[in-house]
Amino acid sequence: MKGILVSYDFCTGCHSCEVACKKELGLGKEEYGIKINELGPHKYENGKKTGTWEWTFAPMLTKACDLCASRTEQGKMPMCVQHCQAWCMAYGELDELVKKLDGKSRYAFLTPLES
């Protein structure tokens, strides 16, 4: 199965994936194929991480995403991955991508609806 691996500790919330996708899919205002969620900034006052900051960005796929099927057929990358300024997204077979997990950052797999 194909999908996108995101090393979201490094996501900077730059919106490139969102805009690249919107333009490719011809989406309008408030419509996204991929959308970044933002958590924080917030300083922990409890638990083991007390005194440290949480400020995390993480993209999620919407119903509109088809992993840029028409692009990947031609050998091109999905728009979001191609334009990820933070180098934190990779596209491919999940079996292959899983080898990149190293426990040194938080990761998420994103897989869209099968059309």
Chain contacts with other proteins (rule: CB under 8 A)? 5, 7, 9-10, 12-16, 18-20, 22-23, 29-30, 40-43, 53-55, 74-77, 79, 82-90, 100, 102, 104-105
Strands (E), 1-115: 2-7, 34-43, 53-61, 89-93, 107-110
How far apart are the two ends of the chain, measured CA to CA in Å? 13
Q: Are 18 and 31 in contact (CB under 8 A)?
A: no
Cα-trace Rg, the chain: 15
Minimum Å distance from CB 46 to other proteins?
A: 15
Compute how many other C-beta atoms are within 10 angstroms of the C-beta atom of residue 101: 12
Among residues 66 and 90, whose Cβ is nearest to other proteins?
90
Minimum Å distance from CB 115 to other proteins?
A: 21
Minimum Å distance from CB 9 to other proteins?
A: 8
Among residues 14 and 64, whose Cβ is nearest to other proteins?
14
Among residues 24 and 66, whose Cβ is nearest to other proteins?
24
Minimum Å distance from CB 106 to other proteins?
A: 12
DSSP state of 9: G
